[in-house]
Homo-oligomer: A and B are copies of this chain.
Amino acid sequence: MLVCRKIREIREFVRAERKNGKTIGFVPTMGYLHHGHQMLMREAKKECDVVVISIFVNPMQFGPNEDLDRYPRDFEKDHALAEEVGVDAVFYPPVEEMYPSGYTTYVDLNSLTDCLCGKSRPGHFRGVATVVTKLFNIVLPDKAFFGQKDAQQVLIIRRMAEDLNMPLEVVTVPIVREADGLAMSSRNVYLTPEQRSKAVILHKSLEAAAKAVEEGERDAQKIVCLVREMISSIPGALIDYVELRKYSDLSPADSMDGPSLLALAVRFGQTRLIDNTVLEV
């Protein structure tokens, strides 16, 4: 498995593979890989000849009071996990390779970015859209793979890729969960054992909401309240948001007349976790 610190190096690798007629699958990550990331890589491996991943904790998508500095990093473990699933190359650039002095360009969206996580994290999705544009231009993949856990991120990247006519396909891969239902996340490592066991409420409340919808509930407010009440009953769980929105464009969904995204963010101490489910009617 090739590891490239330089843009020039990964470009050369991809160019050579493409010259040999190979298709390129790409999985952008911030590292501290887990089984969720591995699922993305496996999917890429299934659909493409060559798999490239990037490991880059992107400063542009962190707010001034967020966890950029303490974001978990473990390149050796990441290397092993990527190698395990047959990744061909890892692009692992230092910050100055991605944002050299004088850097000034960004990509942003007029909609989709201001609600849900975008409301709690102003500028976050601008940072995501910008770095993903850069990574796409560097790797030039045929397909790029993103996890449904970051549902809003996937919608934004799909929209951006379509709007800017990026020559690639965006593939969404389902959420991978721990045995007890907690969505896998690099940030789970922050949780104390007590918080860790409490955090299962995120998934449980989403399941309860899905069950209510299955049984005929269509009132958005009631569905949201059901989730909020379950989470609020857990001491130490602080709700950032629980929202039901139209899955197509994230506009507010008062009642469910199409696929809806039920998404939530909850803090346990300093740690902010997200989860979601798409409710079909």
Interface centre among A105, A164, A166, A167 (most CB of B within 10 A): A105
A111 at the B interface (CB under 8 A)? yes
Interface centre among A11, A102, A140 (most CB of B within 10 A): A102
Residue of B nearest to A139 (CB): B165
Contacts of A109 in B (CB 8 A): 104-106
A134 at the B interface (CB under 8 A)? yes
Q: Is the interface of A mostly helix, strand, loop or mixed?
A: mixed
Q: How far is the CA of A111 from the CA of B133 in the complex (A)?
A: 19
Interface size class of A (residues with CB under 8 A): 20 to 34
A81 at the B interface (CB under 8 A)? no
Residue of B nearest to A107 (CB): B107
Contact (Cβ within 8 A) B105 A107: yes
Q: How far is the CA of A11 from the CA of B140 in the complex (A)?
A: 16
Given contacts A133-B164, A134-B165, 7 further A-B pairs with CB under 8 A are A103-B163, A105-B129, A105-B159, A106-B108, A130-B164, A134-B164, A137-B165
Name A residues whose Cβ lies closer than 8 Å to a Cβ of B.
7, 11, 102-112, 129-130, 133-134, 137-138, 140, 159-160, 163-167, 249
